[in-house]
Amino acid sequence: MLQPLEPDTVYTVGGKVMKALQKFLFCPSFFLFPHFYIPHPDQWVHCYIAMHIILNGEQTAIKSQTLDAMIAEQGVSPDTVIAEVNLELIKKDDWAQTYLAEGDKVELLSFVGGG
Amino acid sequence: MSIKITENTTEDTTEDDTLYFGDVAFSSRLLTGTGKFASRDSIAPMLEASGSEMITVALRRIDPKAKEKDILQYIPKSVRILPNTSGARTAEEAVRIARIARAAGCGDFIKIEVITDMKYLLPDNAGTLKATEILAKEGFIVLPYMMPDITVTKQLHDAGAAAIMPLGSPIGTNRGLEMKTMIKRIIEVSKLPVVVDAGIGRPSQAAEAMEMGADAVLVNTAIATSHDPIAAGQAFALAVQAGRMAYLAQMAGEKTYAEASSPLTGFLRQ
């Protein structure tokens, strides 16, 4: 049985939750208790744009679609960040036009002290 | 305490004692590093006190939780950045780091470090050579950190390196010139500048390397972890200059028996 959607949970578009939803769309209880199957509109944004990327080697759920939004979402100061998407270095000017896709390997790097 | 050192000394001994990596000229023969400083604010005054014109940095993944400023903001614009490839375990990883560092605006210099031995941090010469070959072809000014070896020194020449950087002793150990004999041989055969990198723990050890004929030394830990990095930076600068002057002055060799410095005639006892 489907669990109700949790307010703080990130649901993926192609993920299991949405697929299960489609399957149950035409069952009788859908019409009796639609709120049980359809997330509140406040949560729709989570449902439709969230995805997983490999950020610095770790699988990370993000809400952003572009690189610059993702960097802001991570709370990283953009001034000193070097960003690499799928082993390709992305210039700061191009961050806003760089759309991320499910499974992209993103590296956020910076210079640190070293000998 | 402020002794002005950088300008006068070298000019007095020779007309032109400029150090070249590739076609880039340096008047200071002390290279420094940014690692291990208790306060990063002492990096800039240390650079000024030591006169060092090139300093190393490393490239790492960002930790969003640690809200630290980027290290480049602590380095004056007049000082050249030497990114290292620390963390690289293979030539490919080193090449990748080098390309990122250059694309990020750090210039053409790169210090190659390819290391798999985590206990002594001794470099993998084969990987270092391979990375040097690739990066030199791409126009980098390659400074390879290497285990002192004559054959590899020659191979690095052919691979297009801009310098040879044999280690004195393992990184961060302050043990000085454990590799002294091999470094001497490298200095003998090398047509490229020889930079003794790693393990130099005291100014006297830096001076010794320079007296032997090394073209420069790279010092990080000894300066950064001293109680007063600014004074330590200056002490190393003085030692490097003294060692260089002694080398250029061509000091006389050792003798087994005493040789009087005063005349052996006209003694008062006769």
Domains of chain A: 1-49 (no CATH), 50-109 (3.10.20.30)
A89 contact residues in B (CB cutoff 8 A): 99-100, 103-104
Distances (CA, A) of B244 to A54, B11, B81, B240: 51, 12, 23, 6
According to the model, what pLDDT value does residue A26 have?
63
Span A24-71, pLDDT tens digits: 566 777 778 777 777 676 666 555 557 889 999 888 888 888 899 899
A94 lies within 8 A of chain B by CB? no
Size of interface A-B (CB pairs under 8 A): 88
Query: What distance in Å separates residue B109's CA from the closest CA in chain A?
Result: 14
Dihedral of the CA atoms B87, B92, B97, B99 (nearest 10)?
170
Query: What distance in Å separates residue B61's CA from the closest CA in chain A?
Result: 4
Pick the residue with more confidence: A87 or B154?
A: B154
* B266 in any annotated domain: no
Q: Provide the domain limits for residue B38.
A: 8-248
A79 lies within 8 A of chain B by CB? yes
* B265 in any annotated domain: no
- Given pLDDT bands bounded at 50, 70 and 90, which one contains residue A78? confident
Closest in B33, B59, B224 to A111, CB measured:
B59
Q: What is the mean pLDDT of residues B216-229?
A: 95
* B169 in any annotated domain: yes
Closest in B36, B56, B62 to A110, CB measured:
B62
DSSP string, chain B: -----TTHHHHHH-S---EEETTEEES--EEEE-TT-S-GGGHHHHHHHH---EEEEEEEE--TTS-PPPGGGGS-TTSEEEEB-TT--SHHHHHHHHHHHIIIII-SEEEE--B--TTT--B-HHHHHHHHHHHHHTT-EEEEEE---HHHHHHHHHHT-S-BEEBSSSTT-----TTHHHHHHHHHH-SS-BEEES---SHHHHHHHHHHT-SEEEE-HHHHTSS-HHHHHHHHHHHHHHHHHHHHTT-----SS---SS-SS--TT-
A60 lies within 8 A of chain B by CB? no
Residues of B with catalytic annotation? Answer: 111
| CATH code, domain with B135 | 3.20.20.70
* B261 in any annotated domain: no
- Given pLDDT bands bounded at 50, 70 and 90, which one contains residue A74? confident
**Number of independent structural domains in chain B:** 1
According to the model, what pLDDT value does residue A25 have?
61
B31 contact residues in A (CB cutoff 8 A): none
According to the model, what pLDDT value does residue B264 have?
87
* B90 in any annotated domain: yes
Give the ipTM of the model, two decimals please: 0.81
Nearest CA in chain A to B73: A80
Q: Mean pLDDT for chain B? A: 91
Query: What distance in Å separates residue A51's CA from the closest CA in chain B?
Result: 19
